[in-house]
Structure 1
Amino acid sequence: MSSWATFGGDLHLDLDAGRGRGLGRRAALEDALRTAVRDGRLAAGTRLPSSRALAVDLGLARNTVAEAYTQLTAEGWLASRQGSGTVVAARGPQPAPAAPPPGLAPRPAVRHNLRPGTPDLGRFPRTAWLAAARRALAAAPDEALGYGDPRGRIELRRALAGYLARVRGVRTDPERLLVCTGYTQGLGLLCAALRERGATAVAVEEYGLPPHHAVIASHGLAVRPLPLDEDGADTRALDRTGAGLAVLTPAHQFPTGVPLRAARRAAAVDWARRTGGYLLEDDYDGEFRYDRHAIGAMQALDPERVVYAGTAAKSLAPGLRLGWLALPADLVEPVARHKRRADGQSGALEQLTLAELIDSGGHDRHVRRSRHLLRRRRDRLVAVLAERAPAVRVTGLNAGLHAVLELPADGPGEAELLDRARRSGLALNTLGWSLAPGATPAPARPPGLVIGYGAPPDHAFEAALDALCALLAP
C-alpha cells in the first residue's frame, strides 16, 4: 500500500484538528501535510493527488489546495515534476535532537494532573473572551498597537483599580498599577528595583514556591526564611532577617493554607514602617474563598509599604501571561524602568481584552462559576479521602485550588510516595519540595502531599481521585 493510501484516510481528522486550533482551511492543510512528512507517514517520492482530486475529496476549493501545494513546494516539503504531478520532496538527514538542558527536560508523562495552582483549562471562557476581544479591538485606538507605557494599557489599569478595590479592598489607582507577564516577572522587577536601593536579602515564608526563591537569588539577594505556624508566618522575626523586602501570602499561605492572623499582619506592617522595608503581598488565589467571607488584602493597611501582586493565572489561565502590581508611589518609576528594560510592555491585545471582560461583568461571572465548581471538587476530595484513606488528614481547605494531605507517621514518606506517583503517571507536589532554602521544618510538622483539585477536566476528576487513593492505600 502506498504512503498516500496509508495517510490519506487520516487527513480529514488532521484537518479537523488543525481547524480546532483555530487554523484556516489552507493553513490546516499545510500543517497536516508538513506533519505527515516530518513524522514519516508520507515518504519521499510519494505522489500526491492532483489539486482538483484532493479538493473534491476534502470539500475544499481547488485554489485552496493549489495554494497549499505551492507554499509547501517553496518551503521544500513538496516537489513539482513536469508530467508527474506533485510528490513529497527528498529531505536530507535530519540532525538528532539535542538533549534539553537539565532545567528544561520534559516532565514524565502525566495521566492525572493534581499539581497545585492550575485551573481546569478546558473551562476557560473562550466565547466570552472572544466576544470581549472583538469589542476591545474594535474600540482600540491605533496607538494601542504600538509601543506604549511600560506600566501597561490605561484601559486595563483603570479596570483593575476598580475591580481590586471592589473585590479585594485594595487601595490604589491606575497610576500606581503596573501590568506584567505574571507574578514571577513582577517579583523579579521588584527585586531588581530594591537591589538598586541597597537591599541585600528578602524574607520569605519557610514554605513557598522554589521558582520564586530562585528569582530572588538570581538578583543577588539572600533568601531568609520565616518560621510558619498555625497563625501564619512569624512576622515578629522580621527584625532578625536583615531583609529589605518580605514576601507573604497572607490570605491563604502557599502551600499550607493558613491565613496570616491580624496581629501578625500588624507586626509586618510595623516592621516595614520602622525599617523602611517593603512587604510583597502575593494574593495568588484571593478570589476563591469558600467557607467564610474573603479576607481583605493586607495592602489596605499601608499602601505605601505594601506591594500588592495579583494574576489572571488562577482565575482565567496562566497562558494569558497577565499579572499586576499595585505599587507604593515611590516604587512606580523604578519598577516601570525595569519593566521597560525587560520587555518594553506586556501584550496590548490581551490587556485590552481583559479590561473589556472585567468592565462587561464577564470576569465576575466566570469567577463565580469557577468558585462553585472548585468548592464542589474540594468537598468531593474530602469525602473520598475520608472514606478510602481515613488515616490521611486534609488541611488548608478554606480557599484556593489545593489542599495539603498530612501523612500518617507509620506510612510511606513523601519521597516514596512521590516516586510511586511518578511511575503511575500521577502529578503532584510534596510539602518538602516547597521548603525554602535554609529553612528547617518544625519537628512536629508531619510530612505531606500538596494536591491541586483545579486542573483535571470534569470527566477525568473521579479517575484522578481513584489514582490518588490507590497511591495512599496501605
Structure 2
Amino acid sequence: MRRGALLSSIAALRWSGNVRTTLYRELRCLITGGHLRAGSRLPSTRMLARDLGISRNSVLAAFERLTAEGLIVSRHGSGSFVSRFAAGKKPHRAAIEHDPHLRVARRRETSEPRDVRPAAEHFPLDAWQRCMRAVANSLVAGDLHHDVAPALQCAIAEHLAATRGVRCDARQVAVFNTKREAIEFAMRVATDRGDAVASTDPDDLVELATVLGVRVVDRDATPQLMHCTSFAESRRDVLAIASRAHAWVLEDDAYGHFATDPTLYSGDRHGRVLYLGTFADVLHPVEIAFLVLPERLATSVRSGVSVFDQHVLAAFIAGGYLAAHMRRLRAMIAARREALLRDLCATGCEIIVRPLHIELRGDRDTTRIPLADLFPPNADAITGSRRIA
C-alpha cells in the first residue's frame, strides 16, 4: 500500500474517543490483514501526524504499541518498517513434536511458575533515587497523616486512563504492599463466608479461600466472585455472567503494562468489576499493587504501604519516568521477540504474534511462548544455548 492510499484509509476514520487507540487499531488491521506488506516502510511519525492533523504524541503512542506487539520494527536513522513476521505468507505448517525448539517450550509450560519480572539491572535506579530525594525535601508532617497518599491515587488513575482506558475517580484507587494483599482484600469485600469463588487460575486462590472460608468452584457453578486473568479465553463472557448472577468480577490484568486488549473494567456498565494491577512486573523490587474499586465498594481503605514509598512512586509516575522506563522495556522485548522469531522460523510451524505471547501452530498441537520468556533470565532457555538479545 502506497503512502497516499495509507493516508486515505486512515483519514476516512472517525476520530472519536482516544485518537492514539483508533490509529493503533487501524494500522494493526492493515498490517495483520496483509494490506501493508512485510518490510514496507511506514511514514515518519512527524509526517503522519501532519498529514492526518493529529498530534505527534498520538502517532508515537500508536507506533510504540505496534512495536511492543512485534508488528513493526524501528531502525535508528532509517524509520519504522512492517515486521516480516507480521504480514505476508505464513510459514509451512509442521508437526510440533518433531522440533527441538518446541519441546523446550512445552517443558517450560509444565514447569514451576516463572519469574515474570525484568531482572534487577533493568530497574531505573537513578530516576527512582531522584524521586526519593525530591520527596524527602518536599514532604511535610501533614502528608504523613494519610494512610493512602492522594498523590499516588491521582497518579495511578491518570496512568490507567492513558494506558489502559480505565477511567475512574482517584478515590476509587486502593493501594497495597503486594498483589496477594490486594486479592485478599478484594475477596474480603466481595464475598461472605461460605460464598463461592470461580477463577480461571484457581490454584492461586485455594490457600486464601481456605483462610477466608469461601469455596473455589468451577466455571459451571454460580459464584459470588469471578477471578479472571488477562489470559482467559472466556473473558468476553464474564461480564454477561456476572450481570445475570449479580456477581463481582476481579479482573487480574496480568502484564497490564504491555497489554493492548480492552479491559473488562472499561466495558463494565453495571459497576461489577474490581480492577487489579501491580508494578512488580516492570519495577521489581517495587511490589506495590492496586485495586480500582466500584464506587459502591470504594469506602475508606487503610493502606499498609509506607507513605514515603507511595509519594516516591507518585513522583516517579507523574514525572514521566514510568513512561520512559516502559518505552525502554518495550524496545528490549521487541528486540528479543524479533530474535526469537528468527530462530523459530526454522521450525516450519505457523507463527502467530500476539500482544502477550507467541503462538506456534503445528499439525496436531499449539504451543504458546508467553511474554515472561522474553525477560532475562528466561530468554536464554527458549532456544537452548543461543542468546536472545
Q: What is the CA–CA distance in structure 2 between the aligned matches of 1:243 and 1:209, rounded to whole Å? A: 13
Q: 1:166-191 deviations in whole A, cap 9, x for unaligned?
A: 11111211111100123221111111
User: Is 1:224 paired with 2:210?
Assistant: no
Q: Say whether the 8 Å CA contact 1:184–1:212 is kept in structure 2.
A: no
Q: Say whether the 8 Å CA contact 2:202–2:216 is kept in structure 1.
A: no
**What residue identity is the alignment partner of 1:242?**
T
Residues 386 and 209 of structure 1: CA distance in aligned 2, closer, same or farther (over 3 Å): farther
Give 2:335's match in structure 1, choosing from 376, 386, 389.
376
Residues 418-457 of structure 1: pairs in structure 2 closer than 5 A: 452-456=372-376
Q: Say whether the 8 Å CA contact 2:172–2:295 is kept in structure 1.
A: yes
**What residue identity is the alignment partner of 1:271?**
I
**What residue identity is the alignment partner of 1:358?**
I
- Shifted more, 134-143 versus 123-132: the winner is 134-143
User: Is 1:467 paired with 2:384?
Assistant: yes
Q: What is the CA–CA distance in structure 2 between the aligned matches of 1:300 and 1:449, rounded to whole Å? A: 27
* Structure 2 unaligned blocks of 5 or more: 1-111
Partner of 1:74: none
User: Is 1:287 paired with 2:254?
Assistant: no
Q: What is the CA–CA distance in structure 1 between the aligned matches of 2:139 and 2:250, rounded to whole Å? A: 33
User: Post-superposition shift, 1:123?
Assistant: 0.8
Partner of 1:185: 181
Q: What is the CA–CA distance in structure 2 between the aligned matches of 1:209 and 1:349, rounded to whole Å? A: 35
Residues 199 and 160 of structure 1: CA distance in aligned 2, closer, same or farther (over 3 Å): farther
Residues 296-445 of structure 1: pairs in structure 2 closer than 5 A: 296-302=262-268, 304-317=271-284, 319-333=285-299, 336=301, 340=302, 344-387=303-346, 390=347, 397-400=353-356
Matched pairs, number: 275
User: Post-superposition shift, 1:307?
Assistant: 0.7
Aligned-pair Cα RMSD in Å: 3.2
Partner of 2:48: none
What is the TM-score when the length of structure 2 is the normalising length?
Answer: 0.62
Larger Rg: 1
* Structure 1 unaligned blocks of 5 or more: 1-112, 227-239, 410-444
Q: Say whether the 8 Å CA contact 1:384–1:465 is kept in structure 2.
A: no
Q: 1:103-153 deviations in whole A, cap 9, x for unaligned?
A: xxxxxxxxxx9925222321111111111111122222223345x33xx21
Partner of 1:160: 156
Q: 1:239-293 deviations in whole A, cap 9, x for unaligned?
A: x41201111124x44xxxx6x5xxx53x42233233221111111212214xxxx
Q: What is the CA–CA distance in structure 1 between the aligned matches of 2:370 and 2:257, rounded to whole Å? A: 20
Q: Percent identity?
A: 25
Q: SS in structure 1 opposite 2:249?
A: strand
User: Post-superposition shift, 1:199?
Assistant: 6.0
Q: SS in structure 1 opposite 2:187?
A: helix
User: Is 1:115 paired with 2:97?
Assistant: no
Q: What is the CA–CA distance in structure 1 between the aligned matches of 2:292 and 2:337, rounded to whole Å? A: 31
